[in-house]
Amino acid sequence: MYDAFVGRQPIFDQNMAVYAYELLFRDGDKSSAGTVDGNQASSQVMLNTFAEFGLNSIVGSHRAFINFTRELLLDDSIKVLPSDRVVLEVLEDVRVDEMLVAAVRQLSNQGYLIALDDFIYDADWQPLVEIADIIKLDVLLLKPAEIESHVKLLQPFKAHLLAEKVETREQFMFLKDLGFDYYQGYFLSKPDVVKGKRTPTNKISIMHLLAKLMQPDPVHIEIEKLIAQDVTLSYKVLRFINAAQFALPRKIESINEAIVYLGLNSIRRFASLIALAGFNDQPHEILLTALTRARMCELLAKQAGKHDTEAFFTLGLFSALDILLSMPMSDVIGELPLGDELEQALLNGGGELGAALGCVLAYERQQWEAVVYADLSSKDISTVYLNAVSWSNETGGSLKLQ
């Protein structure tokens, strides 16, 4: 039995909706991807994605981008992959000749989408450019003028353009103006911070609700009033609690009844999730990231035998508030009456709470050498991650207004 990690990075369309995920795999015992043979790495991705975990567990209904070497593209075994779910990403270092072009053309004719990774134009690649459905440009590697030149060069072809390693919103806007169709990179987790920017009123109300929920002894009637002030929040609380997964003997018809029936700890969690879902001007993927972090922190704590797992859940949930609010974490914390341990974990990753969040963030970023927590094995952590992703997808769907 071997340990397995699964990494995924979302690919967004122009509307900031998730189009697909790129799947990245590293041996948990190795410190970097560079120590793994390309054929071995890609094979491990396919084996673990389809045989160990299941594609839907990792990417839901979205497509999966997977890197392919020359050898794998020429191997008939690639054809066992579902053509409607997998995008074949041709690595930039493959040797292009008639045999490779023929193999890629055949895969394209069989319904597979073809992507060219880290593309820089060369005449030898012209036949693949004519076949490709998606061409990925590394925007950190190219200067703005070079990016513009590539866009003009590739306009006559059918391929959609994907910008990878986008790190700022300015980059995103520049690339969007050039007509890129898809975007991949860290810019969503590094939002621009505008000094002196006022937070919209609806977000202030949500922050007040979160603050009230974090108090040591919140009063039921005060929580009920805060939720009742927002019809959308009220609707979502009742809809979420009445979901079939809770197996309630009868329908809950009021916020107060929900608080009494389920208890304050449960309603604190549900209301916090729904409050975060109220940031409807942000991509839903960010909410899913917050939910995944929260659940993974909680499950790590349970596996390690910790008692106050609710604090771990809250930590993961709040770790994305700076993204949702487009505010520095230090300013966000100033709005919430948090305990010292939780505050330090959010600000600098300190303490037992911070150790759990550090493990979660390392997994999220595929920094495998830092994916450690307590005495849990890499297999345990990988299982926790997959369970967290599955839970967040289900929960995140329940939070959407239909």
**Residue 35 pLDDT class (50, 70, 90 cuts):** very low
Determine contact, residues 9/32, Cβ cutoff 8 Å. no
**Residue 278 pLDDT class (50, 70, 90 cuts):** low
Paired tokens of 246:
């809770």
For range 142-154, the mean pLDDT: 94
Please report the pLDDT score of residue 75 as a whole number: 80
**Among 175, 198, 220, 151, which residue's Cα sits nearest to residue 13?**
175
> Who contacts 345 (Cβ-Cβ below 8 Å, separation ≥6)?
315, 351, 353, 354, 357
d(CA 155, CA 135): 11
Paired tokens of 165:
């390693």
**Among 330, 345, 249, which residue's Cα sits nearest to residue 293?**
345
CATH 1.10.3210.10 domain position(s) in the chain = 201-399
pLDDT digits (tens, 9 = 90+) for 80-123: 788 999 999 999 889 999 999 999 999 999 999 999 999 998 88
> Who contacts 339 (Cβ-Cβ below 8 Å, separation ≥6)?
311
CATH 3.20.20.450 domain position(s) in the chain = 7-189
Helices and strands per DSSP (H, E), number in the chain = 19, 8
The C-alpha torsion from 201 through 202 and 204 to 206, rounded to 10°, is 170
pLDDT above 80 for 148: yes
For range 346-368, the mean pLDDT: 91
Give the CA angle between residues 169, 350, 314 to the nearest 5°.
70
For the chain, give the mean pLDDT: 77
pLDDT above 60 for 264: yes
Of 146-150, 197-201, 208-212, 305-309, least confident by mean pLDDT is 197-201
pLDDT digits (tens, 9 = 90+) for 229-253: 665 565 566 655 655 445 566 665 5
CATH architecture under which domain 201-399 falls: Orthogonal Bundle (1.10)
Please report the pLDDT score of residue 167 as a whole number: 83
CATH architecture under which domain 7-189 falls: Alpha-Beta Barrel (3.20)
**Residue 149 pLDDT class (50, 70, 90 cuts):** very high
pLDDT above 70 for 139: yes
For range 255-269, the mean pLDDT: 66
Determine contact, residues 318/346, Cβ cutoff 8 Å. yes
pLDDT above 80 for 224: no
For range 319-329, the mean pLDDT: 78
Percent of the chain whose pLDDT exceeds 90: 33
- pTM higher than 0.95 for the full model? no
